[in-house]
Amino acid sequence: MRLSQLFARTLREAPADAEAPSHQLLIRAAFIRRLMAGVYIMLPLGFRSLRKIEEIVRSEMDGAGAQEIRMPILLPSEPWKITGRWQAYGNEMFKLVDRGGRDLGLGPTQEEVVTPLVAAEFRSYRDLPVNLYQVEWKYRDELRPRFGLVRGREFLMKDAYSFDADVEGMRRSYEVMVEAYRRVFDRCSLDYGVVEADSGLIGGDVNHEFLARTAVGEDVFVVCENGDYAADLEAATYQSGDEASDEELAPLTEVATPGRHTVRDVVDFLGQAPSQLLKTLMYRADGSPVAVLVAGDRDVNEHKLGRALGAREVRMFTDDDFAASGLVKGYLGPQSLPADVTIVADRSVRGGRNWITGANQVDQHVTGANEGRDFRVDRWEDVGLVREGDRCPRCGGSLRLERAIVVGHTYQLGTRYSKPLRATFLDETGNEKPYLMGCYGIGISRILAAVAEQHRDDRGLIWPKALAPYQLVVIAANMDQPEVVRTAECLYEKLLSQGHEVVFDDRDVTAGVKFADADLVGYPAQLVVGSRGLRSGTVDLKLRSSGERIQAPIDDAPSAVARLLQEAP
């Protein structure tokens, strides 16, 4: 490809609406252009890199025994209504109505398509296991699209679905996929980790996220300083100091706290630490009222709360809920909650004594509140949100919060979909049983952003060979000198014929522009033909990743390029 013809106009300055480095560089280097929030056009360079990722994923999926199919994006609503996800996905699913008035959706994921498909075709345990995958654009009306390709409303995903006859089989299929995922991310040169995660709307029990470490990322995860624990923030736990305080029990005393209804206001007013206040938060879990108790310096993890309660939907009390219940927002305490409220306390407050908490009246708090004597706890659960510095659940080491981009997520679904959709096979004894399923996603367009985020410097992108749109750029440094142009052209043709993925920068611009663009786009290697070298019969080679420059005789240039590319990461 000649750059004079390539549909790629690089930008000297970052567009104002891009903040993340990967986003800015992908736009500046002419890989992508924004169409609207969370929706991007793939330009030739970006599309080539995206295809490379796709092919890596395909080869590893095929190698792991999965078979590629292609499922529709436009979906009927019925199976979604059966599994409850038509509602559960809510506004995150793009919904439309056809001319006949039927509800349709754009696919955010495809369990509801693949499960009935397999159930209709593979009816016997003899057919199992089977694993089907596709690479297709997905649609989710995200609450907040972010960082360009990192979280789009339209994104390219590889989704695979395994079907097994029993739990052991499902686990084996799962392991095979996890190993394939490791190879995919290794081949993409990603610095990544595997963590325990929350299964969200997909459901199921065991699941893992593959996280690419980045300074900007849509995801927060927790790691132990000793490296023995890592989990997504939504799933992370911590050791709670269970040792009971030996403090003497103080009497329950009301104190006036006029106008002070935030934790900060109250403890400052009373001259105490936030950890001494017992926060009482009202939730509705599948409709039932639940009070959650945590220390004043900790937040509730609603994902963990939902799981602890076995609830599908957990949301905080609205003002209407407060009005209907007669509880006083801002001055809640567990002492006088009605009997129909389930009181859930985070394990970390178990040892605490003499709490400050609300008095259930405006402008009143109490001190000296104690569990057992003054209030009851119906359930002790692990529902606290991990904070920086909490103790590791494995070793007690200090936990740290880091950001990452989730590039893959694997789930052991069990019968989450096969049961409601009545997707069954006949086992050895002739009994109908639901399939044991797994599902496995890789964000392909997201990998493009994650790799850009991890492989760059202040000059631009630094693509690993496996993902670079082209391996090499041949730069003619002096377009006014026919000898230079002729030599560059000749080398370009030769490299092309040898099968290299090479572009020829034959644009009529100054050398500086070409060098800057070559660094910005991030070709792994650059070959520079200029009048300076030509005098001594040489060309210059540069490795983008290390900045290493060498000279090679013109005749030897193609093999020198091949050797240099060998070295490139």
- Interface positions, 522-551, toward RNA (CB under 7 A): 528-534, 540, 542
The reply on whether position 307 binds RNA by CB under 7 A is no
Give the number of other CB atoms < 10 A from CB of residue 319.
Answer: 8
The reply on whether position 453 binds RNA by CB under 7 A is no
49-108 residues in contact with RNA (CB under 7 A) are 92
Q: Which of 105, 116, 129, 152 is close enough to bind RNA by CB under 7 A?
A: 152
Stretch that binds RNA, among 144-152, 243-251, 389-397, 493-501 (CB under 7 A): 144-152
3-class secondary-structure state, position 22? helix
CB of 322 to RNA, least distance (A): 17
The reply on whether position 129 binds RNA by CB under 7 A is no
Q: Which is nearer to RNA, 332 or 534 (CB)?
A: 534
State the Cα–Cα distance between residues 505 and 495, nearest whole angstrom.
Answer: 14
Q: What is the DSSP string of 87-112?
A: HHSGGGS-EEE-TT--EEEE-S--HH
258 Cβ neighbours under 8 A, 6+ residues apart: 363
The reply on whether position 505 binds RNA by CB under 7 A is no
The reply on whether position 446 binds RNA by CB under 7 A is yes
How is residue 46 written in tokens? 């970006």
Burial grade of 271 (CB within 10 A; 0-12, 13-18, 19 or more): exposed
The reply on whether position 303 binds RNA by CB under 7 A is yes
Stretch that binds RNA, among 31-39, 97-105, 184-192, 494-502 (CB under 7 A): 31-39
Q: Which of 12, 100, 101, 372 is close enough to bind RNA by CB under 7 A?
A: 12
Stretch that binds RNA, among 117-125, 214-222, 282-290, 318-326 (CB under 7 A): 214-222
Residue in the block written with tokens 């080679």 = 541
The reply on whether position 319 binds RNA by CB under 7 A is no
Could you tell me how many residues of this chain bind RNA (CB under 7 A)? 77
User: In whole angstroms, what separates CA 148 from the centre of its chain?
Assistant: 13
Stretch that binds RNA, among 138-146, 171-179, 373-381, 391-399 (CB under 7 A): 138-146
Q: Which is nearer to RNA, 366 or 473 (CB)?
A: 473
Q: Which is nearer to RNA, 365 or 455 (CB)?
A: 455
Radius of gyration for the chain, computed over Cα atoms and rounded to the nearest angstrom:
29
Q: Which of 69, 194, 206, 216 is close enough to bind RNA by CB under 7 A?
A: 216
Stretch that binds RNA, among 54-62, 258-266, 514-522, 561-569 (CB under 7 A): 514-522
State the Cα–Cα distance between residues 32 and 45, nearest whole angstrom.
Answer: 8
The reply on whether position 198 binds RNA by CB under 7 A is yes
State the Cα–Cα distance between residues 406 and 450, nearest whole angstrom.
Answer: 9
CB 71 within 8 A of CB 111: no
357-416 residues in contact with RNA (CB under 7 A) are 406-409
How is residue 84 written in tokens? 């409850």
Cis peptide before 129 (omega within 30 of 0): yes
406-445 residues in contact with RNA (CB under 7 A) are 406-409, 441-443, 445
CB 452 within 8 A of CB 26: yes
Q: Which of 123, 174, 321 is nearest to 329 (CA)?
A: 321
The reply on whether position 17 binds RNA by CB under 7 A is yes
State the Cα–Cα distance between residues 238 and 231, nearest whole angstrom.
Answer: 11
Q: Which is nearer to RNA, 374 or 517 (CB)?
A: 517
Query: Diameter of the chain by CA atoms?
Result: 96
Q: Which of 2, 4, 5, 11 is close enough to bind RNA by CB under 7 A?
A: 11
Q: Which is nearer to RNA, 9 or 99 (CB)?
A: 9
Element (H, E) at 380: strand 379-381
Residue in the block written with tokens 């104690």 = 370
The reply on whether position 164 binds RNA by CB under 7 A is no
